Amino acid sequence: MCRVFAGQDPEGYRQINRSIRIDGHSTSIQLEATFWALLDEIAENQNLTTPKFISKLYDEAIEINGAIPNFASMLRTTCALYLRGHRPGMDEQMVPKRQAA
């Protein structure tokens, strides 16, 4: 039924912690290896290191949304958007800023 998913290499979902400085504070982020590989790819496409990309993403998300309830989840959904073909620069004009209520 789902052999392609069920038979995947367990290395892809191994948890990896990385320490990153965000907004002047050192923090640890735990994601699966596959997500780290995708974030590395996204950062490289932006000519940034992964820590710089993540820090910039954090700053922009705070500016747009005011808060990030679960940053690790946001990083995972960033990877999903990337896999669906969304690319920085390409669709930045299409993303509306959140309106104040």
For residue 92, is pLDDT > 60? no
From residue 55, how far is each of 27, 44, 90 by CA, in Å?
Answer: 11, 14, 20
CA 73, distance to chain mean position in Å, is 8
User: What average pLDDT is seen over the chain?
Assistant: 89
For residue 29, is pLDDT > 50? yes
**pLDDT band per the 50, 70, 90 thresholds, residue 90:** low
Which of 27, 75, 81, 83 lies closest to 53 in space, CA to CA? 75
What's residue 88's pLDDT?
Answer: 72
Identify whether the C-beta of residue 31 lies closer than 8 Å to the C-beta of residue 46: no
Compute the average pLDDT of residues 33-44. Answer: 97
Query: pTM of the full predicted structure?
Result: 0.83
